[in-house]
Amino acid sequence: MNGSNRAPDDRPVVFMATTQQPYHPRHYHLMAVGLHRAGVPARMVAQPDHAEHPPGPVPVVFVEVSPGRLARFLSAPRVIRAALALRPRVVHVTSLDLLPWAVLLRTFARVPVLYDSNEDYPADILLKEWLPRPARTVLSRVVGRVEPWCAARLDAVTLADEGTAANFAGIGTPLIVIYNFPWLEMLGGADADDVEPEFDVSYHGSLPQLYLDPLLATARILHDRGVPARWCLVARDYRDEERSALEERIRRAGLLDRMTLRYNQPFTEMPGLLRASRLGFIPLPDRPKFHRNLPRKLFEYLAAGRPAVVSDLPPIRRLVGDAGCCVLVRPGDPVESADALQELLTAPNRAREMGERGRRLVADRLNAEREVGPYVDLVRRLGAGVRNGG
């Protein structure tokens, strides 16, 4: 049978995770949806999370929840069995927990395996507040060696930015950077600016202490100045006990009446939530991780046509420092952050112009339509049998 008469390969690309993030903004809404739009079947295998999600174009196979980090690591065989039952043409591993297992999977199942390093994990471990400080240092060093060693034995590595790619320099495995840019359909149109926003400042994503401390300090300064800023915090992956702790912390700061809290919102609702606010705020600390990684929420503010006050760190400065769509402030300086937010809130025309520049930046360059093409090509080559190392 010649190639033109060959039946199309309907085996899916299977994304595997041990985390409770089946609809991850990157793995599901960017990568898996990108494959689906290119006509490549995709499936997701993961634990269910805490949100109610509308049906998406990529089917999800849910595995039993494994609470706790050790249980999550040990759940890998169950996740792998669920993935192999789908007869994958390619497996894309999206959890660091699964990386050692991925080497075994590629060796014994003889299926192409990719690994996604979503962030600088060795630097990220140094920020983990639940770990004793000495343990963070040791674990960071271990991951810094094991991650590239395992990745060198796989078929390709995908990365969210050039900074993380430096962790894998010289391993011989193909590397491809796929930035977390939004789809063009997430762009806020001109009509969105005609609606009076419900909030003045928003923040969305995880809220560890390193982010929450400068955010509350900034909000308190504005409050003390008599600036009646209305805040919306959209907290991701929050359980009931975490909600109570967050609300108690905000109450102690005397800001509960200024803050609207939303929990575990589906990613598909984020464009509307961001357009319901005048400004975004991204108070990243000056730590090694943020000298390499870019916050995905920055691109989402740009797509929504909302200017953001963002920590002035090297990756952010290189990307948008001269674009006129954000105000960069000194990391860890709540007074400078409050000054920038107050200035934009009292200059709505300037804020609107900055938001429009950000929207145009996404429309012209920083969009998923331009970003996912090389990834789709890579997956097709691997599915056709072009493997790393022959």
What six digits make up the tokens of 131?
């770990």
* Strands 326-329 and 259-263, bridge-based pairing: unpaired
CATH 3.40.50.2000-classified regions of the chain: 3-178+372-383, 184-364
Q: Would you say 267 and 303 are in contact if contact means Cβ atoms under 8 Å apart?
A: no
Closest Cα to residue 230, out of 197, 264, 263?
197
CA dist 101 and 113 (Å) reads 11
Q: H or E segment at 281?
A: strand 277-282
pLDDT digit string, tens, across residues 183-205: 999 986 655 566 789 999 999 98
- Reply yes or no on whether the pLDDT at 390 is more than 60: no
pLDDT digit string, tens, across residues 11-69: 999 999 998 889 999 999 999 999 999 999 999 999 998 888 888 999 999 998 877 77
CA dist 263 and 235 (Å) reads 5
Would the pTM of this model clear 0.75, i.e. be above it?
yes
Provide the CB-side half-sphere exposure for 181 (13 A, CA). Answer: 23
- Reply yes or no on whether the pLDDT at 227 is more than 60: yes
pLDDT of residue 156: 96
What six digits make up the tokens of 250?
């905000």
Cβ contacts of residue 205 below 8 Å, gap of 6+? Answer: 211, 234, 235, 236, 295, 296, 297
Closest Cα to residue 95, out of 114, 67, 68, 123?
114
- Residue 147 — left, alpha, or beta (φ > 0 → left; ψ -120 to 50 → alpha)? alpha
pLDDT digit string, tens, across residues 80-95: 999 999 999 999 999 9
- Reply yes or no on whether the pLDDT at 245 is more than 70: yes
- Enumerate the β-bridge partners of residue 326: 308
Q: Would you say 312 and 329 are in contact if contact means Cβ atoms under 8 Å apart?
A: yes
pLDDT of residue 192: 58
pLDDT of residue 173: 94
pLDDT of residue 253: 94
Closest Cα to residue 187, out of 365, 315, 22?
365
CA 86 to the chain's CA centroid: 26
CA dist 126 and 121 (Å) reads 9
Q: How many CB atoms lie within 10 A of CB 348?
A: 11
pLDDT band at residue 7 using 50, 70 and 90 as cut-offs: very low
What are the Cα distances from residue 54, in Å, to 29, 59, 60, 348? 12, 12, 12, 34
Percent of the chain with pLDDT over 90: 77
Give the mean pLDDT of 136-151: 96
- Enumerate the β-bridge partners of residue 46: 62
Least confident range from 151-155, 164-168, 189-193, 268-272: namely 189-193
CA dist 344 and 356 (Å) reads 14
Give the CATH number of domain 184-364.
Answer: 3.40.50.2000
pLDDT of residue 189: 61
The correct CATH number of 3-178+372-383 out of 1.10.540.10, 3.20.140.10, 1.10.1040.10, 3.40.50.2000 is: 3.40.50.2000
* Strands 60-62 and 42-46, bridge-based pairing: parallel
Q: How many CB atoms lie within 10 A of CB 379?
A: 25
Burial class (CB in 10 A: 0-12, 13-18, 19+), 287: middle
Backbone torsions φ then ψ of 339, nearest 5 degrees: -60, -45
Backbone torsions φ then ψ of 145, nearest 5 degrees: -95, -45
Closest Cα to residue 13, out of 30, 36, 29?
36
